Amino acid sequence: MDSRLEAVRDTVLARNPGEKEFHQAVIEVFESLGPVHDRHPEFLEGAVLERLCEPERQIIFRVPWTDDAGRVHVNRGFRVEFNSALGPYKGGLRFHPSVYLGIVKFLGFEQIFKNALTGMPIGGGKGGSDFDPRGRSDAEIMRFCQSFMTELYRHIGEYTDVPAGDIGVGGREIGYLFGQYKRITNRYESGVLTGKGISWGGSLVRPEATGYGTVIFAQEMLKTRGQSFDGQRVVVSGSGNVAIHAIAKAQFLGATVVACSDSAGYIVDEAGIDVALLSQVKEVERGRLTDYAARRPGSNHVAGGSVWDVTGTVALPCATQNELDGDAAAKLVSNGLIAVAEGANMPSTRSAVSVFQEAGILFGPGKAANAGGVATSALEMQQNASRDSWSFEHTEQRLTEIMVGIHDRCAATADEYGAPGNYVVGANIGGFVKVADAMLAQGLI
């Protein structure tokens, strides 16, 4: 890495101690940026990177709530408003016990570049809580969401900051959050949240968008080598919103998805995963993959272990950060892998990415490959702003165009900066240059 970048990086790491996921995300971006600074000395002079790594605003707040037995709990809420050079802060809320400032900052930092790559007018932000929704009743989830919004409402707005879902936050939670926002502000401000229900301002295709987009991105990568999803054997991690729709799209394009996972283990289903059953078990019943295996003849459940032990030609990590390490990557490569597209945010460790790249595997990093979710959120904002709602076909067409555009921009940027085929370099530089130009144009802010 360039010594000037190294100095900035070291300052950022020292200034944000203990935030290891944020460090990882920063290091990964800096490693791509050397050639940009050779061509654009104005970025260094304007201290763009120093500014980019310091969020514009960070909010941490108390979230008290009562469980069904009347006991009081206290969680911590976060919203990191990272960068508004290109539009209002935009990014999801994650409810998971692992959430702390370092996770929210890594996600918010990645979101800046991801959102820039979509070509839509959205800045970067992220939020969430260390609240664990698992095993909680609907009433408990509602009380938690209402308490969370009772602080968050003062920081967000359709022109300011537009949260959405992420792990642990789906349509149900967005509904409770929106209801509380409306109640406190006395405004039906549709554009304040995305991922809303279809009858009250949501967009068709938003639930499918991240998973579909990841597969569309992977399909574009495969095309560069004269291949497609048809006939591929696909391994997916996770079994939530992103995974389910990635599986559906990959199978629609002719692949067989033979495995997916949850935190207790994974299933192998050689006939191809039954998406309707998976969705029923995970989304309707909020059950476990053991329930899927019990109801699906020919499938089997493996408790614990790693889904990456399953042989496949395409891997779609759609669970969470750092779920695929160097050893898992080496195993996938020796089992005949040709492509990886990240449906989750930073699911591959830095050593896994090196293994893939050294082996010449097509590798689509999350900030490009999973941008379809937030891009469709931006389409939801457009529909809200014009009080319109688009058909499924039209919205899916827009999503496809956006994903193909992101793919092509990453590929062209990688070529331009001397790293053909390297989508990590393409995504990092493509996203960065757009944000950096806007920051310089807007003066020292």
List, by residue number, the catalytic residues.
Answer: 126
Find tokens 């900066």 and name the residue. Answer: 417
Cα(236)–Cα(260) distance, integer angstroms: 5
Contacting ligand GLU within 82-111 (CB under 6 A): 90-92
**Shortest distance, position 146 Cβ to ligand GLU, whole Å:** 21
Cα(155)–Cα(214) distance, integer angstroms: 31
Cα(445)–Cα(443) distance, integer angstroms: 6
End-to-end Cα separation, the chain, in angstroms: 27
**Shortest distance, position 429 Cβ to ligand GLU, whole Å:** 20
Cα(218)–Cα(222) distance, integer angstroms: 6
* Residue closer to ligand GLU, measured from CB, 91 or 430: 91
190, 194, 321, 384: which one binds ligand GLU (CB under 6 A): 194
* Residue closer to ligand GLU, measured from CB, 312 or 364: 364
- The contact mask relative to ligand GLU for 152-191 (x = CB under 6 A, - = no) is ------------x-x-------------------------
Q: Residue 41: what residue type?
A: P
Q: Is 374 in the site for ligand GLU (CB under 6 A)?
A: yes
Q: Is 347 in the site for ligand GLU (CB under 6 A)?
A: no
* Residue closer to ligand GLU, measured from CB, 347 or 373: 373
* Residue closer to ligand GLU, measured from CB, 110 or 274: 110
Burial 40-70 (b: 16+ CB within 10 A, else e): beebbebebbeebbebbebbebebebeeeee
Nearest to 102 by CA among 181, 23, 47: 23
**Shortest distance, position 194 Cβ to ligand GLU, whole Å:** 5
Cα dihedral 13, 14, 15, 18 sign? positive
* Residue closer to ligand GLU, measured from CB, 377 or 422: 377
Asked if 363 and 423 touch (Cβ cutoff 8 Å), the reply is: yes
Cα(414)–Cα(435) distance, integer angstroms: 17
Nearest to 143 by CA among 240, 97, 75, 190: 75
Nearest to 114 by CA among 87, 94, 153, 95: 87
- The contact mask relative to ligand GLU for 46-85 (x = CB under 6 A, - = no) is ----------------------------------------
345, 348, 357, 395: which one binds ligand GLU (CB under 6 A): 345
The DSSP bridge partners found for residue 90 are 162
**Shortest distance, position 298 Cβ to ligand GLU, whole Å:** 34
Coil, strand or helix at 319: coil
* Residue closer to ligand GLU, measured from CB, 92 or 347: 92
Coil, strand or helix at 205: coil
Q: Which span sits near ligand GLU by CB under 6 A: 36-44, 70-78, 369-377, 396-404?
A: 369-377
Q: Is 372 in the site for ligand GLU (CB under 6 A)?
A: no
Find tokens 């609907």 and name the residue. Answer: 138
**Shortest distance, position 162 Cβ to ligand GLU, whole Å:** 7
**Shortest distance, position 114 Cβ to ligand GLU, whole Å:** 6
Nearest residue by C-beta to ligand GLU? 92
Kindly list the residues in this chain that would bind ligand GLU in the complex (CB under 6 A).
90-92, 164, 166, 194, 345, 373-374, 377
